Amino acid sequence: MQADDDAPEFPSTTHLSIVDQAGDAVALTSSIESAFGSRIQVDGYLLNNQLTDFSLTAERDGRRVANRLEPGKRPLSSMAPTFIFDAAGQLHAVLGSPGGSRIINYVARTIVSVLDSGLDPASAIAMPHVGNRNGATEIERGRFPEDVAKELERRGHELQRGDMTSGLNLIVRHANGWIGAADPAS
How far is 58 from 67, CA to CA, in rounded Å?
Answer: 8
Q: How far is CA 28 from CA 16, 90, 121, 152, in A?
A: 5, 19, 18, 34
DSSP E strands: which ranges in the chain? 13-19, 25-31, 41-42, 45-46, 59-60, 63-64, 82-85, 91-96, 130-132, 137-140, 159-162, 169-174, 177-182
* Residue 13 appears among annotated catalytic residues: yes
DSSP E strands: which ranges in 48-176? 59-60, 63-64, 82-85, 91-96, 130-132, 137-140, 159-162, 169-174
Task: Write the single-letter amino acid at 173.
Answer: R
Catalytic residue among 13, 52, 82, 110: 13
Q: Which residues are catalytic?
A: 13
